[in-house]
Chain A
Amino acid sequence: MSQLPALVRVFAYLSLLTVGGGMAAFPEMKTLTVEVHHWMTFQQLIHFYSMGQMAPGPNMMMIVSVGKWVAGFLGAVVVLLAFFGPTACLAFYVGRLWKRLEAWPWRTSIQRGLAPVSIGLLLAGCFTLAKGSIFGLETAAIAVAVLLVLLVYKINPALLVLASAVVGVLSFAPK
């Protein structure tokens, strides 16, 4: 209940960091949800992120889980609006101004200059995620196997995620 304003602030802010993809906001999401607001542990955040990999649609739908976890149904709705509202409005207005922006010489510079930064943010998000999910040989092997398979074969990543869940159960579940 009283967490709702904080959820709005956090997710509206995170929304603006998603340059080049949702993962760019992940390190900040960890800082804000785990360390600043203590809404969950890092492990729980990673669990939500991981389960989000199996959902269809835009790939940061795990934010709905976070909202629900923190403040129930209202929390989920508020987070959804806060996370998608600001960038949706921005896309709407920029889309309409685009004809004018297209010829603006700095537009190419922005697009080109931000490309390496967005890849850096993706990697930074990945390393943050790895710190909480790669513990030993088995988990490292899963990550490397998924990476290699995806680079070599054209396969739906969701299938690999499911396969990894099975591998996880087989190797980590107590007998």
Chain B
Amino acid sequence: MREALWVIPTLSYLGFVVLALYGRGLTPSRAAVVGVGTVGISALLVLALAIEFMTSPPPGHAYVQVLWQWMEVEGFRPPVSLRLDALSVIMMLVITGVGFLIHLYSAEFMRGEEGYSRFFAYMNLFVGSMLVLVLADNLLLLYLGWEGVGLCSYLLIGFWYRDPENGYAARKAFVVTRVGDTAFAIALFLIFTHLGTLDIQEAMQQAGRTWGADSGMAIAAAALLLGGAVGKSAQLPLQVWLPDAMAGPTPVSALIHAATMVTAGVYLIARTHVLFALAPPVMLAVAVIGAATLLLAGFSALTQWDIKRALAYSTISQIGYMFLALGVGAWSAALFHFMTHAFFKALLFLGAGAVIMNLHHEHDMGKMGGLRTQLPLTFWTFLIGASSLSALPVVTAGFYSKDLILHNVGTSESGSLWLWGAGVLGAFLTSLYSFRMVFLTFFGEAKGKASGKPGPLIRIPLVVLAFFSLVAGLVEMPSLFAYAGLDVHLFTRFLQTTLPGITASPLPLSVEIGRELIIEALQLGGILLAYMLFLYKPGIAGVVARTPWGEALQRLWRSGWGFDRVYSVFFIRPFVWIARVNREDAVDLPYVGMIWAGFKANRFLSRTQSGKVRWYAAGIGLGALVLLGIVVLL
């Protein structure tokens, strides 16, 4: 069974190739069958592989499939090899599982759109690239998947390319992530030149031996990798592309946010955790970036009116949690949150998509309201998603994963109370903005009229995702539950073989209960506050917002803390200015000159092709003359 590992990404690519080549000739339903079917089969395969992996794990809990050696030049031997271990199993399960549901949803959501088969071709390529990324056993192949993911995000965000705005958003995503990609590429060169290998496992071992802990090289390499991760995962300071990426179709947003793209950074750090463990300063940076991002994005989410933008900021914030966990060495906790987040975020996006679709492409939450009765199924599933996002205790999956992160941050040796405090404050913000969305969209008076009801292909993914958003957390119980006899740690145990646990100092029971109570109080308080502000007494929010301070803050938060403006002032405008001043382009002149010289040389040399055989013979003679001249002169 394991030998079929290569089939999983291949299937997605196959779907892509078929759709890209024959897409025009296929009817929409056939295109959908190809697009959804290939990912569906992949998902089933992954499930089978995962079950096999759990019941009879391969020796060493990892299975490497070397497909072939790409080339072999002077010690540069990148094999094309896939690695199946606990980490990649989890990633694949989420990518193909959630990816399949999103594909299924898209089959109905995108119906009637122009470029239906093109859409599925891109989506398949996206899933395929992401699978290559997580399966790759060496950094070069990983980089291939990484770039593939970047390319697909560009193609999909700009899917409705006729609107220049969308094209701009796509370019922005591409350019901003490229900054991170460059750092990543430099990290690859660094690792290859210094460690002599691109094989991930080998490089990790080598790094420990050659560089040692806290050495400059290790810090540099880890920092560069972090740069790549920050770009892809939309963390500070490269988070600006994600809100604009909402220009793409809603399923694309779901795919980018839940299953692919933005989690690539989290995966990269988890995959190279050995290297990060060698660089404590970078670890601290990861944690601080995570904490800062989750707070900043949380505030921003609070003030958005576009439902998709609000969700986008919430994603940035939640990925911030994952980074926070990674930063304190709680690798499994980050992965756990990644999994639950994939479920509830995909659910929220798909729910939002259903709302938007039925409200004639209305994104503004201010113009929604009262949809509870008009779209009951969407409402209930969205509510479940929002509860899970707010980590509603015990009944939702989000609770378990967020609790694990906060617990680890609080107890880990590299954690601190500050980081913990940031996380807790973030939890409060999370429930506040989540339920703001719920209340604005589904409660209150109806401002718009929903047209029709979502069909089965939309309902099924919603229900399935809602189910997982509730129960997926049960595989890992909070440490507090151990006192109640519920000592379940399936998830961390499973990942133990790949990702080591944290070194933590156990807390006294009273402290732990106290902390737990603070968290829960803040979370529930957030929901309550949202109820007060946005449903019960909507006036208060308005009054607060109208004070000068309130207005200023609101504007700041809504624009994502003005990062775009800062970048605009510091990077974009100077650049545009330089471009304008340099319209004739001094830098270009040598190139223009080269082109000119090339054509001149061509014209000159063309005259040697006179067609006269005597002339040609003279050429031979001249050659002999020059060669003999070399002999005589040397």
A binds B: no
